[in-house]
Amino acid sequence: MTNGAIIETRGLKKTYRQGDMDVQALRGVDVQVQSGEFLAIVGPSGSGKSTLFHILGGLTPATEGDVLINGQELRGLSEAGRTELRRTTVSFVFQKYNLLPTLTVRDNIEIARDIAKKTGPLDPAFLKALDMLGIGHRLDHKPRALSGGEQQRVAIARAIVNGPAILLADEPTGNLDTENSTNVLGVLRDLNHTIGQTILMITHNPEAAAFADRIIEMRDGRVVKH
């Protein structure tokens, strides 16, 4: 890794086969994210930002180039290895909250610990984060009793309960109104500043990107502005 980067890509390319044509989603992307940084990647639809997100999360392999996540090279990593990466190192927050409607908030968060085979008391850093998220009084409620903003904060709590090195957020405010968007983005910024959570956020919204420490702009599969 270069200069303490927790995420690094070198000459990253991704080509999809679409019918009889090859579509180049990424055309040689070099990106570094430092540990403890809050980075936003912006760009229009088709710019390649979502493809980059999926590669960094081990959800899809690159066609060419190098990807290092927390010191681990992803090239040639088996599916089991990618699953382990997502279980221990990288966690996700998506536009859709993906909460289980029949479970309480507490159980929606605990299921992430069960999947990771975590036992014992919650980490103090998570308890501090839970307080920042402002959902402590909603732990025994089910998702349908929560507002959209509260549901997204539960999704964030579930994503960080196991202390992942990296939080990847894909349009985390896409389903929220302005007030709830501001609240959720403020929570992400607080998590970054207070407990040092490394966050990479994909967004098309310049106002959302402004909450990050640094913004990278993508267009046509390339980084056009650091």
- Residue boundaries of the structural domains of the chain: 36-58+79-215
The pLDDT-based confidence of 19 (bands split at 50, 70, 90) is confident
Full-model pTM = 0.92
Superfamily, domain 36-58+79-215: P-loop containing nucleotide triphosphate hydrolases (3.40.50.300)
Q: What is the pLDDT of residue 3?
A: 62
Tell me the one-letter amino acid at 41. I
In the chain, the percentage of residues whose pLDDT exceeds 90 is 69
Alpha carbon distance 52, 211 (integer Å)? 20
Residue 2 has a pLDDT of 57
Helix (H) or strand (E) holding 156: helix 148-160
Residue 178 has pLDDT above 90, yes or no: yes
Within 10 angstroms of residue 64's Cβ, the number of other Cβ atoms is: 13
Q: How remote is the C-alpha of 105 from its chain's centroid? A: 20
Q: What are 33-84's pLDDT values in tens digits?
A: 999 999 999 999 999 999 999 999 999 999 999 999 998 999 878 889 988 8
Q: How far, in Å, are 41, 175, 203, 219 from residue 50 at the CA level?
A: 9, 17, 9, 12
Q: How far apart are CA 161 and CA 74, in angstroms?
A: 24
